Amino acid sequence: MTQQEPDVVFLEYVVKALVDHPSDIKLTRVVDEMGVLISLDVNPGDMGKIIGRTGNTAKAIRTLLRVVGMKNNARVNLKINEPEGNKTPSAPTSTPKTKTIDEAIDSMRI
């Protein structure tokens, strides 16, 4: 049995305490020249609990992960993956047609 890294153990503990579906948690740890990147996948219904109001929970988790990383001489970053099919529709890219002054005046005539 291999020993897990302290940052992964910490993140798994915190996330499992926050979510309703702890068995759906998937963590992926990648080390490169930039440091450590941990990718987190959770159940779509638990995304709000991980992100928190205005992102405060995610920001706090990231801050604590960096502290754990500093203790182990590593730069640790967290990527929270958005669940499939959970894309918010984008705003329409077209701008409404503006009227010329003549068109505006014509539309006001009865």
For 24, the domain range is: 6-83
C-alpha 46/C-alpha 57 separation (Å) is 12
Residue 16 falls within a domain, yes or no? yes
**54 within some domain:** yes
Q: End-to-end CA distance of the chain, in Å?
A: 83
Flag the least confident range among 49-63, 74-88, 95-109: 95-109
Mean pLDDT within 34-51: 93
User: Which residues 6+ apart lie within 8 Å of 11 measured at CB?
Assistant: 27, 38, 40, 61, 65, 78
Query: How confident is the prediction for the chain on average, in pLDDT?
Result: 85
Which has the higher per-residue pLDDT, 55 or 1? 55
Count how many domains the chain has. Answer: 1
H/E element holding 18?
A: helix 6-18
**94 belongs to a structural domain:** no
CATH number at 10 reads 3.30.300.20
